[in-house]
Chains A and B, each alone.
Chain A
């Protein structure tokens, strides 16, 4: 995918994408909703080709981080760098043009538009909707092809999530931000969606994944960050996090003895 020879030292991991150049970097980013500080200066890095999982309890600042990257929120201080360049001052709708796709929390599909129209909206940044991309989304999500003429609001929760991801994919993102794709879905559907996320990554899209479902997210991801009340408390390769007793206790529901 990339022709970059990375000069940044690789983290301790055997996974190859983590040797690539950083696609997204957050350096001491602070975000506040009014007087309430949601992110207290977080540092984060996503390398090209990686799946990075962002874990944490409710209110830790995971969604805020994604919204900041996609320009929906403006950092109070700090910098979001994409491909090495600061995104400061670029409005959200232009950030999409840079190939940052955001599948928001709660899916936010256009419920009174058909599945096809939803996908076409995803390709808004291009002059015309590419049939190739559409075919690719339908290949990833065959269910969407079956339901292409149905209204988005009439889909099941799992199908809506597929639609939300598919819509983001239509923008040919280099970096895909996924906000809780497993929210409110049955375990079987969650497994299915995670499998598709892996395939999307294999096709060359870098993914920043926000999840409550820590176990599954860490199995999928190359690296993980753990957020707590707006701060990064831990960052390590996914395998290490998965075996860390503190993580197992806090997020995987196991009691440490």
Chain B
């Protein structure tokens, strides 16, 4: 067909090779993105608003100033650290050189640096698989977590409240979502709907809902229970809700399922707002929800909403139970089946897996964990309105899971903890450090959180502590083998 001569072809190759210029190195592309991000941040956080006499004032003060230089230096530092981290991450996933694309890396990172770095990483690689080391490490981490409210800045009630009401609750929720998204590969954008169901269940069981038709909050709530009983009931209810949502929709795949779950979240929210049968008290919600009591074997203890520590301890206990259960699940036949469904649903079905049943199971386990977290959160904040459960929250929890590393329990715990803690840390306690001022302007907090997520996704899309399998999927996709996106449909039509 083609009759191109060899000399012509050689000329073409030479021309194309010339296009492979050093400045097309993806590393430099990432630097450019980071610098662009930094410049935008430096403008958006600038106190100088601009001036009618000097139109360039804003740019001068945010870019061409010591402030601008600080931002740029900060950005470059982040870039250097992140690149080193990225290389290390890819090394660990893909082994030696190919993913780092030898020649290109050598341009920027000195060999000696990477060698030393990998020697350090090698030491930890030897240490981490050691069973006893791991056990001690886990125990140490749990111990630190328990004593956290007595350490450093966590002695402040503000941060104790963040720990119990945010970190604990959302770690729990993210763990559940990890089952759905990370293991079974189902994109659930309405996850907080189950959280809301758990919360409303708590309000009803504690005797604050439904309020009487005359508007008197104390009219006739039928049930008054110790909130510990709310856990099993909420779990059963949210599981049922998961079943009701899942059974008809889990035949859908990928994007379609995501849209349906999105709709489900909205339905639950509107139900709560519309106050069916006075059950939810509409937009006013419930207040003064009683909290946990312990009264068994002669031991009596009341959780007091003004002291966050006991809630934190309870949260740790619940997280430990859930993590233990999920770890067993992950390495069981069920976990293996979920992975198979995520990798190739058709092949899984062909191997005899009832895929809908297993997807439903993942969905229900996720939903019940969300309900679990909802009970804990409600007991802590003691007042709920529909506005406590915006769609945004569903997306945030998903972001925590992805940030930490989909499919990895450790990753999800670390990711959710950091990401829930970060905005409150930036907001800062009234009189702690930074001479009593918030770390950044409170209005800028979502922007900073967004910047962290963005940087993370550019440099380490597999998440902070990725699961081995997920990381491999991603690394393979970078080499053009397979598909990293669990949300896509399985390959079809290879041979009929």
Contact = CB atoms under 8 A, between A and B. Distances in A.
Contact of A160 (B2, B95, B480, B495): B495
Contacts of B5: 2-4
Interface in A118-150: 133, 136
Given A21-B6, A23-B6, A48-B6, A32 B97 contact: yes
B6 A32 contact: no
Contact of B13 (A87, A112, A136, A160): A87
A5 to B, nearest CB: 11
Given A4-B7, A89-B103, A83 B493 contact: no
Contacts of A10: none
B495 A4 contact: no
A177 to B, nearest CB: 15
A83 B1 contact: no
Contacts of B65: none
A230 B494 CA distance: 27
A76 B102 contact: yes
B1 A153 contact: no
Contact of A74 (B17, B20, B96, B98): B98
Interface string B99-110: 101110000000
Interface in A159-212: 160, 169, 172-174, 184, 200, 203-205
A98 B12 contact: yes
Contact of A83 (B10, B20, B101): B10
B496 interface: yes
A98 B96 contact: no
A153 B20 contact: no
A94 B6 contact: no
Contacts of B96: 32, 34-35, 76
A36 B19 CA distance: 31
B13 A89 contact: no
Nearest to A184: B495
Given A32-B95, A153-B492, A156-B496, A85 B1 contact: no
A1 interface: yes
Interface string B7-37: 1011011101101100000000000000000
B494 A107 contact: yes
A90 B16 contact: yes
B16 A98 contact: yes
A152 B493 contact: yes
B3 A90 contact: no
B4 A76 contact: no
Nearest to B90: A34
A147 B16 CA distance: 37
A204 B102 contact: no
B26 to A, nearest CB: 11
A111 B492 CA distance: 7
B492 A85 contact: no
Interface string B457-496: 0000000000000000001000110000000000011111
A92 B20 CA distance: 12
B233 interface: no
Contacts of B495: 106-107, 157, 160, 184
B493 A85 contact: no
Most chain A CB within 10 A, of B2, B12, B16, is at B2
Nearest to A152: B493
A118 to B, nearest CB: 11
B94 interface: yes
A82 interface: yes
A17 interface: no
Given A34-B94, A35-B96, A174 B9 contact: yes
A103 to B, nearest CB: 14
A72 B13 CA distance: 17
A73 interface: yes
A136 B1 CA distance: 9
A88 interface: yes
Given A35-B96, A97-B12, A90 B2 contact: no
B143 to A, nearest CB: 36
A11 interface: no
B480 A72 contact: yes
Contacts of B19: 90, 94
B104 to A, nearest CB: 8
A168 to B, nearest CB: 11
B17 A88 contact: yes
A106 B20 CA distance: 31
A157 B496 contact: yes
Contact of A36 (B20, B95, B103): B95
A174 B2 contact: yes
Interface string B171-214: 00000000000000000000000000000000000000000000
Contacts of B20: 89-90
Nearest to A21: B6
Contact of A97 (B6, B16, B97): B16
Contacts of B9: 23, 82-83, 85, 98-99, 174
A83 B95 contact: no
Contact of B97 (A76, A88, A111): A76
Most chain A CB within 10 A, of B3, B4, B494, B495, is at B495
Contacts of B101: 74
A15 interface: no
Contacts of B16: 90, 94-95, 97-98
A2 B9 CA distance: 11
A55 interface: no
Interface string A20-45: 01010000000111111000000000
A30 to B, nearest CB: 10
Interface of B: 1-7, 9-10, 12-14, 16-17, 19-20, 93-99, 101-103, 475, 479-480, 492-496
Interface of A: 1-4, 21, 23, 31-36, 48, 72-74, 76, 82-90, 92, 94-95, 97-99, 106-107, 109, 111-112, 133, 136, 152-157, 160, 169, 172-174, 184, 200, 203-205
The 5 closest A-B pairs by CB, nearest first: A111-B493, A153-B493, A34-B95, A35-B95, A83-B9
7 contacts: A4-B5, A34-B94, A84-B10, A86-B13, A90-B19, A98-B13, A106-B495
